[in-house]
Structure 1
Amino acid sequence: MKNTMKFAIVGAASLILAACGGKLEQAEKLSPGGTEFQQALYTGYVDLAKAEYNEGDYIDSDRFAEKAMAATRGEQVDPYHPEEWHLPADREPVLVGARERLMAALGAGASEELPLVAARAQTSFDCWVQEQEENRQPKDIAACRDAFILAIEEIETAMAPVVVVQEKVVVMEKKEPMMMEPKSFEVNFAFDSSTPLPGSDEEIKAASDYMKEFKDPKITIAGYTDTVGSVEYNDKLGERRAEAVAFMGMDMGMEPQRIIMRSYGKKDLKVQTADGVRNAANRRVVITVEGN
């Protein structure tokens, strides 16, 4: 009974603290301070803390608020380490690679040269990690990921080294660009599974390599199922299949901002069957690569 009473008191106290605003309230009382980069981090992390607080996620709200307060005190605030979070096994390598890309940009001076964009890249990355660990709001995951990609690409483009050739003029023969045709690649799945069958790596890698032939590629990754189960269930299964292939593709060099994911579920069958029929050919993801 004593333990029950103790937990009840602790739980009630937590609710009272959450209702009062917790660390978010403390952070909001501060003013942005430090460098321009740190000020932008403060603003970005406060916005994330507010969003999580409004969703009732007081733990992550406090984490972001703590980062905001540290930034405005002038302290160094590093992006999250994906390895320290409980991420899906197939997502962790993607986020580890993204962090390495972010740290390389920061190490090259992005926080001084492009402080606002660098802060947006870091806060979007941390948002991506946090949402990916929850792994229940695909739209929020995609929004954070896409914001990170846009910011990091802006940084890398702006900070790309400029090669200057002196005292030598090279006239290049202009060649007409070779027209590349759209091409599709297919990945198959076992029944009711969102894990690609063994050997799928080669097909996904071929799609990733073909993407590099285009200046402005577009990659559509569409998930399909056979006709067993409801429309709603198969739409979700097709979505999981498309997402699994997309993340494998990103590991192999596909650019996330080029990818469009779709699910057709048990519509547009490759092999026409009656409803409720298992058919291996229909359990697939089609990767279509096209562009200029």
Structure 2
Amino acid sequence: MATKIDARPLLVLCAVSLAGCINFSPLDDLDATTPPADPFQAALYKNYSFLAKSFGQVGQAQYGSFDQDSSIPLTETQGTVADLANTYADKAMRLTRDEVVDPEPSRDIKTHDQRDRLVRALSTAKDVYPRDAARAQADWDCWRLNLRVASQVPSAEKCRQSFEITLARLETEAAAVAAEKAKEDEAKKKAAAEQGQKTAPGEITENP
């Protein structure tokens, strides 16, 4: 006679096991993370987190994120808002792991120069003006990424308009930083030259 087995405990065990194996999306992980310590990365994390959460409840992402290995064609607007939200969340999460998050690539010749200008300004000014630098990068990414979701094309245009303002501000700040550095370098050269003039050939000015 066959033995009848009560399957209910097995079902409970299975449910518990599955619950422990769920792969949460980057958007799910945002609230349990600590922002980076670096001022620029912390400001960038704040911007990306805001963008990720700005869509509200977005449901399950179809593709996960718009990375370079994405299944979404880069020239078409086939993504979902959930994909977009998780892309911003993924950028924020990468910053918490001390990863470098570069501005989104430009996908056409027209915007290539604008991205180059952003990268140059970031390299010069992000340590001195971290909040403004982070906002400019976030505006750029918002413009380029939102274009990939049909319903977010109008918001992409707003991000483009904001980017033009924040990029111009960052470039002004970068020019000021570069000018100050050039001034400091010139002062160092002048001081070194004056010190050299005071020291005659073969003269020892300090105790060995």
TM-score, normalisation: structure 2 = 0.58
Aligned residue number for residue 96 of structure 2:
72
Residue 131 of structure 1 pairs with residue 146 of structure 2: yes
Relative contact order, higher structure (CA 8 A, sep 6+) = 2
| Counterpart-to-counterpart distance in 2, 1:105 and 1:155 | 6
Where structure 1 has 5 or more consecutive residues not aligned to the other structure, the ranges are 1-16, 84-91, 165-292
Aligned residue number for residue 174 of structure 1:
none
- The 5-angstrom pairing of residues 1-292 of structure 1 reads 22-52=25-55, 54=57, 57-83=81-107, 92-108=108-124, 110-161=125-176, 162=179
What secondary structure is seen at the aligned counterpart in 1 of 2:147? helix
| Counterpart-to-counterpart distance in 2, 1:50 and 1:141 | 16
Per-residue Cα deviation, 1:229-260 (whole angstroms, up to 9, x for no partner):
xxxxxxxxxxxxxxxxxxxxxxxxxxxxxxxx
Maintained 8 Å contact 1:35/1:74: no
How far apart are 1:122 and its partner, in Å? 0.7
| Counterpart-to-counterpart distance in 2, 1:136 and 1:95 | 22
Change (3 A) 1:26 1:136: closer
Where structure 2 has 5 or more consecutive residues not aligned to the other structure, the ranges are 1-21, 60-80, 184-208
Higher helix share: 2
| Counterpart-to-counterpart distance in 1, 2:24 and 2:55 | 11
Give the percent of matched residue pairs that are identical in Structure 1 and Structure 2: 32
AA aligned opposite 1:79: P
| Counterpart-to-counterpart distance in 2, 1:127 and 1:21 | 23
Maintained 8 Å contact 1:128/1:144: yes
Maintained 8 Å contact 2:84/2:149: no
Which stretch has the larger CA shift, 118-127 or 154-163? 154-163
Per-residue Cα deviation, 1:106-141 (whole angstroms, up to 9, x for no partner):
222x21011001000111111100122335545312
RMSD value, Cα: 2.6
Maintained 8 Å contact 1:37/1:118: yes
Higher strand share: 1
| Counterpart-to-counterpart distance in 2, 1:21 and 1:71 | 18
| Counterpart-to-counterpart distance in 2, 1:44 and 1:131 | 15
